[in-house]
Chain A
Amino acid sequence: MQDLKVQFFVSGGTVNAVDGVSFEIDRGEIVGIVGESGSGKTMTALSLLRLIPEPGRITNGRILYGEKDVAQMTDEEIREFRGNEIAMIFQDPMTSLNPVLRIGFQVEEAMIAHQRFSNKQAKERVVPMLQRVRIPAAKDRVRDYPHQFSGGMRQRAMIAMGVSNEPSLLIADEPTTALDVTVQASIIELIRDLSRELRASVILITHNMALVASLCNRVIVMYAGRIVEQGPTRAIFKNPQHPYTWSLLRSMPRVDEKEKERLISIKGLPPDLGKMPPGCKFHPRCKFRVDRCFTEEPPLDEVDPGQRARCWVLMKNIANPEAQAQT
């Protein structure tokens, strides 16, 4: 993905939901996208399938999948592409399944939509697919409607739908946010196991830094429609260079943390994307800002091999960040 820009044309102006986002995903890789609500994570993911809702539009950038540009595909090409090459699992399984169609049928039609399986094969694969996502008594439950399923089971059904065509990229947009804590771990485990079996890449969108640490090879941190930092998970967790990433990690409770008050939450709200501040978009909330931050937006520069950050100062240049952050 190169220089993606998604704009919403609403009454009262233009909202740049995603502004100049570029990244690559390699085969088999698990990449985490983190950031507060409204930072453009979902819109970035939806643009990979060209599913930006009205009044939004992709106004710039190329989305290359192999040799093909998603933005240039014909309607029929993009239809064949969706769910077949890239599948998406949405945030809220309560509303993402059609309430009037049987679970089994919703999985089946995902397969019938593409050339991979004949109608007969598709029908036969439904129960095995549900078993594969570990829905108990799958045989009896294919004819159930979504309202007869619990939240966790619905998300499993969504996953079954997603992987039914063996896509090479699976996007999971906060797949556990809407679920009970007790089932979150098993859903994540399921996504990880299936992606390994299918040798598919995964984009995992989440708020949960612990999840990213345990699952992802690489992390992309988004703020106000931009990538502010990206790099290998280990590097980012060990040496976050952008103050926003640093604060995100500092606001994450850790088992080895002794003093409770050392948890630092990020004060203030992310900017209104219609009225973006000049300079670095994070400066109103940044504890480490310098004069330049108010007027000039920093570029996303390489700070270490494979790690990039969008900041004039960088955390490595701050002697005692803890002390400064407490002020």
Chain B
Amino acid sequence: MRGTLLYIGQRLVLIAVTTVLVSSIVFLLLHQIPGNAFLNETRQTPQALAAELHRYGLDLPLQSQYVNWVQGVLHGNLGESLVNRQVKITPLLVRETSVSATVGFFALLVTVGLGLLLGVVAALRQNTWIDYLASSTAVVGYSIPSFVIAIFGLLVFGHYLYLWTQGTFYYVPGWGKLEQIPVPALALGLPYASYVARLTRASMLETIRTDYVRTAWAKGLKARVVVVRHALRNALIPVVTILGPLITGIITGSVVIENIFGIPGLGKEFVTSILARDYNIVIGVFTFYAALVGLANLTVDVIYPILDPRIRY
């Protein structure tokens, strides 16, 4: 137990370091780009521009700007928006993260739930039409990029079924209704669900042939107990190892999906702020993503030894 806590502590420090590092790299790169957020403001006098630059500390030499930035990051302060005056970035991004996380959570549910279901059924019915159907569905699902599924989903629910569903699943301006989640979550989760299904099937086929599963049958356990408690429990171990990269994939995928569906999350903010040259927000989003990916992977690594007691930190 103490070992685990120590391990988590170390990982958290590492995540903080990585986050600052990512933030720094993005900071330095963005400052190489000519131009600034105030270029498109009309009727701008040189004095007014100088005042703006001074207000955000952009007239300081790069080194001092950088030191100020890193100090801010370490205190959880990502500065102010350059476009929307006085909007503090940290609380803004926290709010948007919770929107993204909700969609991401349901996408993960789709991925894991559907993936496991298809994989287990295919493995248990190996080489029957059920297996072929499940497996080919998985291949198709894996081959279609999520933005294609997203557009297809829009077409179906926003057009063909619009009247029938009374627009329930379609994005109407304003976000926050639970009914709006399924379609983007499906679009985001489906390709990865196929991946999980394929991995689960292979993994299950291996475990149902193991000696300990034979032991479980020989004990006279019920089929459901043998399959779930003995075969699936062990088959999950390799599946969990890909959960980290998978969550990362869902996070990156959300940039596209949020823009297609107009979901006011981190991914939408990312694109909007780039277009507006709101560099402070851009760096902030990167910083958040770095921390999120780190935390997601840490969560997976903490779950891992619960599934496999042979692993101890």
Contact = CB atoms under 8 A, between A and B. Distances in A.
A binds B: yes
Given A145-B310, A147-B310, A96 B219 contact: no
Contacts of B309: 99-100, 145, 147
Contacts of B310: 99, 145, 147
Nearest to B127: A54
A82 B217 contact: yes
Nearest to A80: B220
Interface string A288-311: 000000000000000000000000
B222 A79 contact: yes
A145 B309 CA distance: 7
Interface stretch (A83-91, A190-198, A223-231): A83-91
Given A100-B234, A101-B229, A109-B225, A95 B219 contact: no
A95 B210 contact: yes
Interface in B213-227: 214-223, 225
Which range contains the number of A residues in contact with the other chain? Answer: 20 to 34
A101 B306 CA distance: 11
A83 B226 CA distance: 14
A100 B233 contact: yes
Contacts of B216: 98
> B217, B218, B310: which has the most chain A beta carbons within 10 Å?
B218
A95 B225 CA distance: 19
B277 interface: no
Interface string A145-174: 101000000000010010000000000000
Nearest to A114: B220
A110 interface: yes
A75 B222 CA distance: 10
A32 to B, nearest CB: 20
A79 B220 contact: yes
Contacts of A114: 220
Given A96-B212, A100-B234, A100-B307, A51 B217 contact: yes
Contacts of A113: 219-222, 225
A90 B214 contact: yes
A219 interface: no
A99 to B, nearest CB: 6
Given A90-B214, A95-B210, A110 B219 contact: yes
Interface string B172-214: 0000000000000000000000000000000000000111101
Contacts of A147: 309-310
Nearest to B209: A53
Contacts of B222: 79, 113
Interface string A239-269: 0000000000000000000000000000000
Contacts of B237: 100
A77 to B, nearest CB: 11
B230 interface: yes
Contacts of B229: 101, 109
A100 B308 contact: yes
A184 B218 CA distance: 23
A97 B210 CA distance: 10
A263 B225 CA distance: 50
12 contacts: A51-B217, A53-B209, A53-B214, A82-B219, A87-B218, A87-B219, A95-B211, A97-B215, A98-B212, A98-B215, A99-B310, A110-B221
